[in-house]
Amino acid sequence: MSDTSGCPGSLSVVVIDDHEIVGLGVAQAMAEAGRPVEVRHVHTAALVGPCPGPRVVVLDLRLADGSTPTENLLSMNSMGVPVVIYTSADDPVLVRESIVAGALSIVRKSAPPSELVDAVMEAAEGRTMPGLDWAAALDADDDFVSEHLTQTEAQVLTRYASGETSGVVARQLGISSYTVDTYVARIRDKYRSVGRPADSRIDLFRRAAEDGLVSYYEPGA
């Protein structure tokens, strides 16, 4: 496996992941499956330049450079490079985001290596191999906010989950601190009622991020 640029005439795979060992694992999986393609590892999508040869990108959803799945997928799409998401799949919001942005397949890092190999080969032909994580992400409760929270509750959750105190939220919304606390308690109960933990402020931040009210990529998040 090489970390240098290159455009082989045959199919190659570019692994975008914080950890080089993931790239090594992908190379081994491809070789053991009888697909000895060139596999290149990079830490950021910015290092994937134009190349006339056929390629598939294997992309992790969370990267240390702070880039979002949408940004990385749009970058790859602009070069006509198909993308397979290779992730722990612990964040359904990011999984859904990657599907919307054009990922062809979602593969868990805990899945058998053959599943990733199959997804890469399908992607090379422009075909998708959705799998269970794809279906689960699309079936998730995307509309929790609109179905379970009032507009004011959503505004309180957005501010409170982002770290504002009850007093600050109260001043921003023109209500009392007591009312903010009442809203927060009500919001926690609504999340608990659907089996989503919301006991701590961190829990609330995660729920708000999952439902698109705040971003994991915001400063301090």
112-128 pLDDT, tens digit each: 999 999 999 999 998 88
Q: What is the CATH number of domain 144-210?
A: 1.10.10.10
Among 41-55, 61-75, 96-110, name the one with the lowest average pLDDT: 96-110
| Domain segments of the chain as ranges | 12-139, 144-210
Average model confidence (pLDDT) across the chain? 85
> CA end-to-end span of the chain, whole Å?
34
At the second CATH level, the architecture of 12-139 is 3-Layer(aba) Sandwich (3.40)
For residue 146, what are the contacts with CB-CB under 8 A and spacing of at least 6? none
Q: How confident is the model at residue 98 (pLDDT cuts 50, 70, 90)?
A: confident
> What is the structure's pLDDT at 50?
85
pLDDT for the residue numbered 82: 95
Tokens representing 136? 């689960």
DSSP letters of 96-154?
Answer: HHHHHHT-SEEEETTS-HHHHHHHHHHHHTT--B-HHHHHHHHHS-TTHHHHH--HHHH
pLDDT of residue 221: 38
